[in-house]
Structure 1
Amino acid sequence: MADRYGSDRLSIFLIILSIILNFIGNLLKTPVFGLIGYIPLAISIYRMLSKNITRRRMENYKFVMFTDSFTAWFKKAVDNITIRIRDAKTHRYFSCPDCRAKLRVPKGKGTIIITCPKCKTEFKKKT
C-alpha cells in the first residue's frame, strides 16, 4: 500500500503488548484482559495504515527517546555490576564519605588510608 507509514518500534511494541495482555487474559480466564488486549493492536494497525507520516514519526521518536533512556540506565547498571563481580577477588569498592565517589582499592593490604582523588578527603578502611 503506497503512501502508508508501515511498522516501527512503537507499532511492534504495541503488538507485543497486545499479545501479552491476551495471553494473561487467557491464563486468568477473564475476558476483560482479552478486550483490553485488542486496544494496542487496533492502535498499531491504525498507525501502520496511517497516511500522516510526520505525526507517526514524531510519535515513534518520542517513544524511542523514552525507551532509550531506560535502556541506557539499565545497561550502565548491568555493566557496573559485571565489573564489580569480575574484580571481587582482587579489589574492594568504597565510597567517599564526603563526595560519594566510588573508589577501587586493592584487596588484602590491611587497614589503609584512602585519599579520594576527587575531593582529597582521607579516610581509613580495612581491605
Structure 2
Amino acid sequence: MGKSQQKWQLKLMQFMRGRYGRFDILSKHLLYAAFALIIVNLFVRSSIISTVVLIGMVIAYYRLLSKKIYVRSNENQKYLAWWTRVKKPFVLRFNQFKYRKDYRYFSCSNCKQHIRVPRNRGKIMITCPSCHSKFEKKT
C-alpha cells in the first residue's frame, strides 16, 4: 500500500469520525427502490421518477454522513418495526407453502394466533399457545 493511499484512508477516517457511517436496512431499501426506479425510468422516461430517484439517493447518503447517530438509529428501528409488520403475512404464506407436506396451519378462533401442527395425525385436540383455548381439528 502506497503512502498516498494511506494518507487518503487517514483523511477518510478522520472525515467519518463521529458520523453514522453505515448502510442500515432503511438506507439499503431506499437505494434498492432508487435503482429499481432507475430501471423503470429507462423504459418510461419520466422526470418525476428521476426526481424521486434523486431524492431517495440523497436521503440514503445523508443518513450515511449524518452526525446525529441516535436519530438515525431511531429512524432505522421504527422502519424495522414497520417492515416486520408488512413482511409478516408474506413470510407466513411462504412458510405454509414451503412446509405444506409436513404441517397444517390453523388459526385460533379466540386470538387469531397461527398454529402449526403435524400432518396425518387424524383428529387432534389443539391448544393455543397464547390464549390456551382448545379446539379439535383434523390434520
Q: TM-score, normalised by structure 1?
A: 0.66
C-alpha distance in 2, partners of 1:102/1:64? 26
C-alpha distance in 2, partners of 1:28/1:62? 33
C-alpha distance in 1, partners of 2:105/2:52? 48
C-alpha distance in 2, partners of 1:80/1:74? 10
Bigger drift between 24-33 and 59-68 goes to 24-33
Which residue pairs with 1:3 in the alignment?
Answer: 18
Please tell me the root mean square deviation across aligned C-alpha atoms, in Å. Answer: 3.4
Which residue pairs with 1:109 in the alignment?
Answer: none
Quote the offset at 1:58 in angstroms: 0.3
Are residue 19 (structure 1) and residue 35 (structure 2) matched?
Answer: yes
Q: TM-score, normalised by structure 2?
A: 0.61
Quote the offset at 1:44 in angstroms: 0.8
Preserved contact between residue 25 and residue 34 of structure 1 (Cα < 8 Å): yes
Distance change in 2, residues 1:61/1:94 (3 Å) = closer
Gaps of 5+ in 2: 1-15, 127-133
Preserved contact between residue 96 and residue 105 of structure 2 (Cα < 8 Å): no
Deviations 1:58-112 (CA, angstroms, capped at 9, x unpaired): 000011111123333322221122222x25xxx9x6979x879888774xxxxx9
1:78 partner letter: F
2:32 partner letter: I
Quote the offset at 1:116 in angstroms: 5.8
